[in-house]
Amino acid sequence: MLELYLQIEAAAAAVRERWNETPRAGIILGTGLGNVADEIESPVAIDYPDIPNFPRSTATSHRGRLVCGRLAGVPVVAMEGRFHQYEGYPLKQITLPVRVMKALGAETLIVSQAVGGMNPYYKAGDVMVIDDHINLMGDNPLVGVNDDRLGPRFPDMSAPYTPELIEVALETARRENFVAHRGITVAVTGPNLETRAEYRFLRMIGADVVGMSTVPEVIVAVHAGLRVFGLSVITDMCLPDALKPADIHEIIAFANSAQPKLRALVLAVLQHEAQRA
């Protein structure tokens, strides 16, 4: 990890050359939240290849740029597209943007992901506020010699997702009259989807949804001392006794259909954080 500090500083300096505000929050706009970037006021968009040490996003529907500006009046830095372990990148590189957000001054990380639903009470198009996670990616972005400038050697993970922000989101869903579940996500490497036996196993160990991202970014956010709010949009149901072949176009369509709900929750959390002393 000792090489990360200079990489973070170089990336942050490149962003500051183009945008000189201090973000209140960093946002990772996964599948289903990409259009939120279009609402950012006075945007400064920087393509990932123009930022030192940033990988390139190759995932379907991920645009691949950093958008800086104001969302609902709050200064933010938003990733329009993220990186995944299945693209061949090490977790330290995948999570570097989170550390850059911290270096720029962000205090909160908001992250979204598209997931498969394993809880039979969920349905495609539903939203789940992440309460906790299970890491089954076979790796951890904190492996290696710890750099105390970036965070502690053994960060506490008793509440990786800030309970206060979970409550803000659930209350917003009640007020706006839509369903928002509260549950546990499990992260796997991918890129293949799971077998029926794997879905049974993942459900048995306590996961409500399964995805291929978010957990590494949250581990790094906690290490860096950021408050965290996580959202999942259920894009397909993964019930082993009624499993259908996945259709990527259908998955993206369900993710897009959930955008109004995701947007409402993200804006509520942003406004809450802006009012926090």
Residue ranges and CATH numbers for the domains of the chain are 4-275 (3.40.50.1580)
pTM across the whole model: 0.95
Helix axes 96-104, 4-18, angle to 10 degrees: 60
Q: Who contacts 40 (Cβ-Cβ below 8 Å, separation ≥6)?
A: 67, 68, 69, 70, 71, 76, 78
Average pLDDT, the chain: 93
| pLDDT bracket for residue 270 (50, 70, 90) | very high
Q: pLDDT value at position 247?
A: 82
As a whole number, mean pLDDT of residues 170-186 equals 97
CA distance 196 to 119: 14
228 within 8 A of 161, measured Cβ to Cβ: yes
Give the pLDDT confidence of 120-167 residue by residue, as tens digits: 999 999 999 999 999 999 999 999 999 999 999 999 999 999 999 999
Q: pLDDT value at position 32?
A: 60
